[in-house]
Structure 1
Amino acid sequence: MQAPQKQAPIISTSSKCPDQVYIQGHNEAVLKSHRWRTAANSASYLLPTLRSSTKLLDVGCGPGTMTCDFARLCPDGHITGLDYSASVLAAASAEAASQALTNVAFTVGDIRSLPFPDDTFDVVHAHQVLQHLSDPVHALREMRRVARPGGVVAVRESDWAAFTWWPQTRGMREWHALHAKVARAHGCEPDAGRRLHVWAKEAGFERDNITPTAGTWCWNTPEERQWFGSTMGGRLLEREFRGNAEKCGATEEDLLKCHQAWKDWAEDEDGWFAILHGQVLCKK
């Protein structure tokens, strides 16, 4: 009889959830898109800096697919995944166990007060995190604090105003405007990608030590449209985003109209959607 796989440990370092609201929530429609992310499709700008022995902190790691990729890429190092959701970290731990990874652990914690000493990590990484915070510069200062001298802080954020798609239907435009309205009502900045290099300067990095670049995602095949349409449209009717949107004046009819717009986009043979990301590598 085969022995059960040992899951990567989950260490609780916070007794309460942060009061910052993640407007999308951690429902299945959201997690399905998070599980799609890999180091190859979402962190290619960082990969050349990794070494076999790299000690890396993955902030806002979610279900851990990227975290596990980092662990495979740094077999002699150690990877720590941090998220404020213990339930999401349970899935991340199970993912690591399924891959028999022994150099990864997961920690419940808050990016605004990272539970680590100064100068701990070679690389501190965050993907699509700062756009959900009311004070992204403070979060970057925390990431900088726990990076060792000579280490790297790596951040990638989408830029919602730069999203582009076809066909440009009214329903899709209304969805786009609704998301921006809800995000900003919660003190967040959805157009984070274009601001990263400026935020990094405000967080204490020297301009000459900040390398800004850009990356993209694109969906257009029938399979890609069905997958992406279900993740983006599906979250509109989940209680987390629905509740936050209703607080901003959205009605049930508004949400259903946006949901239908995503279904129509997914079925359109000419459907195409591209996302632009800002990226920064910041040397401490």
Structure 2
Amino acid sequence: MTTVYSTDHAAPVLQTHSWRTVANSTAYIIPHLRPDMTILDIGCGPGSISVDLAQRVPSGHVTGIEYVPDPLDEARSLASRHGVTNIEFRVGDIHALPFPDNSFDLVHVHQVLQHIADPIQALREMRRVAKPNGGIVAARESAAFSWYPENPGIETWHAVTERMAKGKGGNPSPGSYIHVWAQEAGFSLERIRKSAGSWCFSTPEERQYWGGSMAERARSSGFAMMALEGGWATAQELESMASGWSEWVADEQGWFGVLHGEIVCFK
């Protein structure tokens, strides 16, 4: 697989990924869930969405895949702590999924297509392994960011992450046009249902979770290392990002929003 992921699975990254649940990150697919569904969750990370899905399909089964093994031990541990047994985790490439045609009732990605080299090929593969006559391919990707108050460090973070993602061949914030990719991957337009969702971080706890993690990423994650080694940011800019996020966390009026585009595609 050719990955263009602009960070790694360091602790501050896994912290943000572990916060994600079906309710706060994939609510748009809840109406389509059935107790006996077979689900493929691609880019499962530490498994918080995957385990939540498995609990919602008690007579079904969930397979979570990640392109590297790094976060999968944590995902398995999470499933074990929750007593969830109808789930498995394995390494797999979204560009060439290791499953036969027509294998799953639901094939799901959350903030994955923006980080890979060929999102249209990925959607073709997702369509291939979805069952015919009602199989679903679902995707949710960020579309836009907004924050208050103005903050030079966060502005630097946004500029650097966009520049770095584009420079590595990614597609930052593609949520507004993922339905176009789905149509190019073989879904007819009338079989694609489009919607939007959002995250909002404003309470002290939410600011600490989001901004604290982002500050740590700027100081000590694969993102910081790649930014320096690739010439995408200077050490001074990274420190500006970290300081900006810390200032935002401390501001009782701090607000950060993420708009996501969502698609449910019926095979």
What TM-score does the superposition give when structure 1 sets the normalisation length? 0.91
Deviations 1:150-178 (A, max 9, x none): 2000000112xx20000112222111101
Correspondence for 1:3: none
Distance 2:176 2:163 in 1: 18
> SS state of the match for residue 163, structure 1?
strand
Q: After the TM superposition, which residues 40-59 of structure 1 pair with which residues of structure 2 at under 5 Å, given as runs?
A: 40-59=23-42
Aligned residues: 265
Match among 177, 196, 218 for residue 195 of structure 1: 177
Correspondence for 1:9: none
Distance 1:171 1:87 in 2: 30
Structure 2 residue 193 is matched with structure 1 residue 211: yes
Aligned CA-pair RMSD: 1.0
Q: Give the drift of 1:236.
A: 1.3
Distance 1:136 1:19 in 2: 11
Identity of aligned residues (%): 48
Correspondence for 2:258: 275
One-letter amino acid of the counterpart of residue 191, structure 1: S
Q: Give the drift of 1:102.
A: 1.5
Deviations 1:120-163 (A, max 9, x none): 0000000110010121111111111100112000000112xx20
Q: After the TM superposition, which residues 1-284 of structure 1 pair with which residues of structure 2 at under 5 Å, given as runs?
A: 18-149=1-132, 150-159=134-143, 162-246=144-228, 247-284=230-267
Contact kept, 8 Å, 1:185 with 1:248, in 2: the verdict is: no
Q: Give the drift of 1:84.
A: 1.6
Displaced runs of 4 or more, over 2 A: none
Distance 2:88 2:156 in 1: 41
Contact kept, 8 Å, 1:71 with 1:78, in 2: the verdict is: yes
> SS state of the match for residue 105, structure 2?
strand
Distance 1:131 1:46 in 2: 20
Contact kept, 8 Å, 2:138 with 2:262, in 1: the verdict is: yes
Q: Give the drift of 1:87.
A: 2.5
Contact kept, 8 Å, 1:182 with 1:248, in 2: the verdict is: no
> SS state of the match for residue 277, structure 1?
strand
Gaps of 5+ in 2: none
Gaps of 5+ in 1: 1-17
